[in-house]
A and B are shown apart, each in its own frame.
Chain A
């Protein structure tokens, strides 16, 4: 048991140290110690990325570190997933279509969010930048998405997020999709104003929000 805890800690530390090599080494160690790969992801890697989010919030970690940590997490997750027996692969937490709204081409943030969501159990489709509202919906329809994520870095294009919510409503799909918004100028009050389901200030809290949104989606759908 102690052995196991140590490996979890190593995994977490490697993520915080944005060190892909160390993360892979620790993942290998976990497999050799016959630790359930899924448990290694949930109890090792996940707390690691959570801490990265905390450090980001305190200003100690900036964008490059979050990006590198997300990359390290992706590498270790993929390695560990390879050892999960086919019949034990859990269903994705949800299907997430993410992209940057029309008029904007700044996509670093949305890419990091995508990586973290993917590594944490979501099925993620990153559909690119400068994406029209219709395309967001088309892609979501095509892959059977649960959540549509729309990102923007500029105040001039924030309005596109509103158009997205309106278009979804117009097409009568509002119960089918949850809408999450993010990006530099986005605030909770904008989220409320346009009637989106969730907003996150950074990539790690986007994961928390996505999980929360899925929970509420599942509850409403079963009730």
Chain B
């Protein structure tokens, strides 16, 4: 039977299956997260999937016609149990068809800020017009604001005005004015609603969205939501999405609508959870990397993808929510944080805001690990930053059995350095169906300590363990045997996977090394290492250090801070002062273009080795390898610049 390739999004799992097998069979084989209630008999209609390119699948069955509404069918929806696959096909699992949620770390460190929101509410008591007092309704309102609260030169949003007269009279001239930034009345509500003032903070990640509903007066988080970024079908990484959006207005709009759709879906859930009404949410603050920032604001991102990668706008920007399609109060404002440079975005500004490295005496290093890894280093006197193309390996892409952090993903791997036996832990303790980022970081160090690979990351082919074998000409190591896994197939790490992981970590180290060089400091000067980002939260700092992702700095100085970009967004939402600090950060962080550095190539190539070709910079790791008898006899070649 011919084999065809099937890809599941957004998990990113791929497999070859026999031509003619159903999508449901492939789902079971791979352990893809999909709701199946009736067991695949075509009764429940729950296993809805979206297939855009329907060229290589069976035609629509009667059962699907019966169970799927017409508008879904025309949108490409099919039922997994009744759709056969005959050629390469990409299947998207929509949010509503998933069971276990992907693990999305959305909490961050909580930095306390004194609430000082841009949106404030004022309860006004006015008197009704009389023959002696024939001021207009608006003048009455504005003068009440001026006399009661000292607010002068205030404008009123047009669409507040048309129904103001009846509102004022129905409420006996007692209303609450919602004022944005001390300059504009954006809503008037009947009675005293001062205690209901809400905002929506969002962190737009390439892979996932995080949303927070906040009480602006208290500065408190009321509810948290997260969602896969609906732009994923347009491309997994930012460059592919920039390329798509760069094709024209239509394509650019598609990406903007996709992300706004996701943000509105999160908002809807936050409102459901809290009983807050959409019109009571008056402001949104958004952060994201520069590409996400441009695509959210519908700014042409084309030139971000071309050297020297200039952004369209650097400053923070205020846009009406309705212009972007964000469904909060119709006059609500969306503030998007400033960025630093083409590939160091508003998320990095938020990272710095939340981690407060600009207050420290000694240099702090923050690493926000992702497909693009942003690194900021500095203290109260100086800050520099860069972006490294670390690639999607840590997201599970380009890794044979890589997957995102979802139920059944192997998230931790340990290999006994003596017996070479493997132990692992999966998310939700489910049967393994792949391996996710945190374990992908574990693997090279564990293999190295156990003598299964050398410092070049090459398998020791002379080793006799059934776990190490050659498959289709490529060496691989078995992490989980097939009788343990959900897909009835061994979960392996291949020689090519190791190469991908090593290039990814080398890119990150190169960024750190070049920033240290620019700042003229060494690892000994670094007081703290903060690993930021949702994925960073789950990385074992020890594993990351053994593979040389960052310099050998004592582990006591290394801390995972979670989604600090989300924390920064929340701070900017509730505090005007925090927004000013953002502008300062955006101006102060000096951007360093890595590829322009003449030593880029040699640092990058040396960093490919485990932990690095320059072993003398890793004394502790070398000591460990020596004790285990794994220190290399032939030292790796050091590439000179």
Q: Which residues of A contact B (CB under 8 A)?
A: 18-19, 58-60, 62-65, 67-68, 102-106, 108, 130, 154-157
Which residues of chain A are within 8 angstroms of B306 by Cβ–Cβ distance?
102-104, 156-157
Q: How far is the CA of A64 from the CA of B638 in the complex (A)?
A: 10
C-alpha spacing A60/B473, complex, angstroms: 11
Q: A62–B639 contact, CB under 8 A?
A: no
**What separation, in Å, do the CA atoms of A68 and B613 have in the docked complex?**
13
By beta carbon, the residue of chain B nearest A61 is B458
Within the complex, the shortest CB–CB distance from B188 to chain A, in Å, comes to 48
| Smallest Cβ-Cβ distance to B240: which chain A residue | A155
Residue B105 CB within 8 A of the other chain: no
Tell me whether A63 and B240 are in contact (CB under 8 A).
no
Complex contact A68–B608 (CB within 8 A) = no
Given A108-B601, A154-B239, A157-B305, A63–B503 Cβ distance below 8 Å? Answer: yes
Return B641 CB to nearest CB of chain A, in Å: 13
**Cα–Cα, bound, A102→B307 (Å):** 8
Give A47 Cβ to nearest chain B Cβ, in Å: 19
Q: Identify the 5 closest CB pairs spanning chains A and B, nearest first.
A: A156-B305, A59-B496, A103-B306, A59-B495, A64-B605
Complex Cα distance A102/B457, Å? Answer: 34
Task: Choose one: B307, B494, B608; the contact of A105 (CB below 8 Å).
Answer: B307
Min distance, Cβ B76 to any Cβ of chain A, angstroms: 24
Quick check: A64 and B608 within 8 Å, CB to CB?
Answer: yes
**CB pair A58 B637 closer than 8 Å:** no
CA distance A103 to B604 in the complex (A): 21
| Contact partner, A62, options B246, B474, B503, B606, Cβ 8 Å | B503
- The residue from A18, A19, A105, A156 contacting B239, defined by CB atoms under 8 A apart: A156
Whether a CB of chain A sits under 8 angstroms from the CB of B407 is no
Quick one: given A59-B496, A62-B499, A106-B595, are A156 and B601 in contact (CB under 8 Å)?
no
A102, chain B: closest CB distance, angstroms: 8
Given A105-B596, A156-B242: A68 in contact with B639 (beta carbons within 8 A): yes
CB atoms of B608 and A58 under 8 A apart: no
Using Cβ atoms and an 8 Å threshold, which residues of chain B touch A65? 456
Number of interface residues, chain B, beta carbon within 8 A? 35
Residues on A with C-beta less than 8 A from B355 are none
In whole Å, how far is B504's beta carbon from the nearest beta carbon of chain A?
Answer: 12
- Distance A105 CA – B246 CA, assembled complex (angstroms): 20
Contacts of A62 in B (CB 8 A): 457, 499, 502-503, 608
Q: Are B637 and A60 in contact (CB under 8 A)?
A: no
**Inter-chain contact A64/B307, CB cutoff 8 Å:** no
Q: Which residues of B contact A108 (CB under 8 A)?
A: 601, 604
> Hey, what's the 0/1 contact readout for B232-258 against A, CB within 8 Å counting as 1?
000000011011001000000000000
CB<8 Å pairs between A and B, sample of 26: A59-B474, A59-B475, A59-B494, A59-B496, A59-B497, A62-B502, A62-B608, A63-B608, A64-B605, A64-B608, A67-B605, A67-B639, A68-B637, A103-B305, A103-B306, A104-B307, A106-B595, A108-B604, A130-B307, A154-B239, A155-B240, A155-B305, A156-B239, A156-B242, A156-B246, A157-B306
Given A58-B474, A59-B474, A103-B306: A18 touches B499 (CB 8 Å cut-off): no
A80 to B298 alpha-carbon distance, docked (Å): 59
In the assembled complex, the Cα of A130 lies from the Cα of B596 at a distance in Å of 12
Known contacts A18-B637, A67-B605, A155-B240: A60-B495 contact under CB 8 Å: yes
Contact A59 B499 (CB under 8 A): yes
Nearest residue in B to A59 (C-beta to C-beta)? B496
Kindly report which residue of chain A lies nearest to residue B237, judged by CB atoms. Answer: A155
Residues of A within 8 A of B494 (CB): 59
CA distance in complex: A157, B304 (Å): 11
Find residues 476-505 in chain B having any chain A CB closer than 8 Å to their own CB.
494-499, 502-503
Shortest distance from the beta carbon of B397 to any chain A beta carbon, whole Å: 14
Nearest opposing residue in chain A for B604, CB measure = A108
Interface centre among A19, A130, A154, by most chain B C-beta atoms within 10 angstroms, is A154
Closest to A67 in B: B605
* Cβ distance B15 to chain A, nearest Cβ, rounded Å: 19
Q: Is the CB of A58 within 8 A of B495?
A: yes
Residues of B within 8 A of A102 (CB): 306-307
Complex: A180 Cα to B307 Cα, angstroms: 22
Residue on B nearest A68 in the bound complex, by CB: B637
Residues of B within 8 A of A18 (CB): 637
Contact with A along B403-437 (1 / 0, CB 8 A): 00000000000000000000000000000000000
Residue among A65, A102, A108, A155 with most chain B CB within 10 A: A155
Contact with A along B183-205 (1 / 0, CB 8 A): 00000000000000000000000
Contact residue among B243, B608, B613 (Cβ-Cβ distance under 8 Å from A156): B243
Contacts of B242 in A (CB 8 A): 156
Alpha-carbon distance A62/B307, docked complex (angstroms): 26
CA distance A29 to B605 in the complex (A): 31
CB neighbours (8 Å) of B596 from chain A are: 105
Contacts of B498 in A (CB 8 A): 59
Distance, CA A201 to CA B609, complexed state (A) = 23
Which A residue's beta carbon lies closest to that of B473?
A58
- Are A60 and B458 neighbours in the complex by a CB distance under 8 Å? yes
A111 nearest CB across to chain B (Å): 8
Q: Within 8 Å CB of B497, what residues of A?
A: 59
A98 to B474, CA, bound (A): 32
**A103 and B307 contact, Cβ closer than 8 Å, known pairs A156-B239, A156-B242:** yes
The B448-463 residues at the A interface (CB cut-off 8 A) are 456-459
Q: Are B307 and A155 in contact (CB-based, < 8 A)?
A: no
The A-contacting residues of B in range 587-626, CB under 8 angstroms, are 595-596, 601, 604-606, 608-609, 613
Question: Whole-angstrom distance between the alpha carbons of A59 and B243 in the complex?
Answer: 29
CA distance A125 to B398 in the complex (A): 33
**A154 and B495 contacting across the interface, CB-CB below 8 Å:** no
User: In the assembled complex, which residues on chain A have CB atoms less than 8 Å from the CB atom of B604?
Assistant: 108
Closest to B609 in A: A64
Task: Give Cα distance in the complex from A59 to B639, angstroms.
Answer: 20
State how many angstroms separate the Cβ of B374 from the closest Cβ of chain A: 18
Chain B residues within 8 Å of A104, by CB: 306-307
**A106 to chain B: closest residue by CB:** B595
Residues of A within 8 A of B243 (CB): 155-156
Determine the distance from Cα of A106 to Cα of B239 in the docked complex, in whole angstroms.
14
The docked-state distance in angstroms from the alpha carbon of A109 to that of B639 is 16
Bound-complex Cα distance A65 to B608 (A) = 10
Q: Which A residue sits closest to B494, measured CB to CB?
A: A59
Residues of B within 8 A of A58 (CB): 473-475, 495
Docked complex Cα distance between A154 and B243 (Å) = 10
Nearest Cβ on chain A to B255's Cβ, whole angstroms:
15
Binary CB contact string for chain B from 496 to 528 against chain A (1 if under 8 A, 0 otherwise): 111100110000000000000000000000000
Query: B residues within 8 A CB of A67?
Result: 605, 639
**B613 to chain A: which residues have CB within 8 Å?**
64
**Nearest A residue to B595, CB-CB:** A105
Which residues does chain A contribute within 8 Å of B475, judged by CB atoms? Answer: 58-60
Contacts A105-B307, A156-B239 aside, 19 further interface pairs with beta carbons under 8 A come to A58-B475, A59-B494, A59-B495, A62-B502, A62-B608, A63-B503, A63-B608, A64-B606, A64-B608, A67-B605, A102-B307, A104-B306, A104-B307, A106-B595, A108-B604, A154-B239, A156-B242, A156-B243, A156-B246
